[in-house]
Amino acid sequence: MYFVSTGQHFTCPLQATLHLITNQWNGVILWLLTHEGEAMRYGALKKSINRYSRTDISDKMLSQSLRQLQEDGLIQKQEAEGSYRLTATGEQLEPILSALEQFGLEHLVVQDR
Per-residue pLDDT, 37: 78
* Structural domains in the chain (count): 1
Residue count of the chain, please give it.
Answer: 113
CATH number of 99's domain: 1.10.10.10
In a domain, residue 109? The reply is: no
pLDDT in tens, 6-44: 677 788 888 888 888 888 899 999 999 998 878 999 999
In a domain, residue 110? The reply is: no
In a domain, residue 76? The reply is: yes
Calculate the CA dihedral of residues 51, 24, 63, 48 and round it to 10 degrees: -10
Mention every residue, 6+ apart, whose C-beta is less than 8 A from residue 83.
Answer: 39, 40, 41, 42, 77
- Full domain range(s) for residue 9: 2-104
106/16 Cα distance (integer angstroms): 26
In a domain, residue 88? The reply is: yes
DSSP E strands, 1-113: 2-3, 9-10, 40-41, 75-78, 83-86
pLDDT in tens, 91-106: 999 999 999 999 988 8
The model's pTM is 0.85
In a domain, residue 112? The reply is: no
